[in-house]
Structure 1
Amino acid sequence: MPSPSENVHPRLLPCPPPLPPLLTGEIGQIALVVRSLPRSIAFYRDSLGLPLLFEAPPKLAFFRCNSVRLMLSEGEKQSSNSPSTTVIYFKAAPLQKIHSELLQRGATFEEPPHLVAQMPDHELWMAFFRDPDGHPFGLMEEVRP
């Protein structure tokens, strides 16, 4: 029969309270690298029936997938051991505040939030970071006047 000390379970240390969430988890955009933009536009528009929102330089096309945008960019095929070039963009408003808080929580950003496009009805601001495995993520905010 085990002694009383052998029946003692290791004491669990209390976990710190979780940090308040900064992101709602709502995905705003997913980016895919494709080998041929014209061929991919035809496939996503004509075969899948996704509405083409617009094309933009250099070699970008944007489709509407309900509340999520799909961005296709033409580029070279990735090697099997390199990090993914698929990018998930989280909606993050207010971007500057969320960026600052994520920096304090240990996220490393490639550059500060910046304007990426001036649209007819809003400015599109983004900031990019990577997870511990090197997967890229974007934060995006559509700022309306």
Structure 2
Amino acid sequence: MTNTKSLIKGIGQVSIPVRRLNESADFYRDVLGLQELFRMNNMALFDCGGIHLLLGIAEKPEFDHKSSIIYFNVDSIHEAYDRLCSAGVTFTSAPHKVGDLGTVEIWLAFFTDPDDNVHAIRSEISKS
């Protein structure tokens, strides 16, 4: 068996299939505040803390589906939730605790983008 630990170095890029590229790209740039690296006819690329986020119109039917959930780290989940709500983001859940790691609690709040892809904001809140 190959040692995959030495092969995988982290996440370099995540792709999200979209149907309305410009509306979705504007959402990720203007509402979520990600840095847009470039935009073409069928795709837009963003920087998300060193990981590339690719929004693309599916070129084949097998790629035309809802995306995996991306969990965006935020410093203060309640502040981020309030600011994003004020910007018109549709949340499917309010911030809530989902786990306890001993010294920190994991909090999430799920939202949808213009193409109804589900994502979340995520925060680790210190218990001390």
Provide the TM-score with structure 1 as the length reference. Answer: 0.45
Query: Residue in 1 aligned with 2:66?
Result: 83
Residue 82 of structure 1 aligns to a residue whose secondary structure is coil
In structure 2, C-alpha distance between the alignment counterparts of 1:90 and 1:97, rounded to whole Å: 14
Provide the TM-score with structure 2 as the length reference. Answer: 0.51
In structure 2, C-alpha distance between the alignment counterparts of 1:83 and 1:99, rounded to whole Å: 23
User: What do residues 34-81 of structure 1 show as CA deviations (whole Å, max 9, x unaligned)?
Assistant: xxxxxxxx98xx324379xxxxxxxxxxxx94999xxxxxxxxxx754
Regions of 4+ moved over 3 Å = 48-51, 64-68, 79-82
Trace 1:40-79 onto structure 2 (pairs within 5 A): 46-49=3-6, 65=10
Query: Residue in 2 aligned with 1:94?
Result: 76
In structure 1, C-alpha distance between the alignment counterparts of 2:123 and 2:7, rounded to whole Å: 23
The structure having more radius of gyration, on CA atoms, is 1
Query: Residue in 2 aligned with 1:129?
Result: 111
| Aligned residue pair count | 79
Q: Return closer, same or farther for 1:121/1:104 CA change in 2, 3 Å cut-off.
A: same
Residue pair 1:99, 1:113 contacting (<8 A) in 2 also: yes
Deviation at 1:98, TM superposition (A): 1.1
Residue pair 1:123, 1:142 contacting (<8 A) in 2 also: yes
**Structure 2 gap segments, 5+ residues each:** 12-48, 51-61
Residue 83 of structure 1 aligns to a residue whose secondary structure is coil
Question: What is the aligned-residue RMSD (CA, Å)?
Answer: 3.0
Trace 1:22-37 onto structure 2 (pairs within 5 A): none
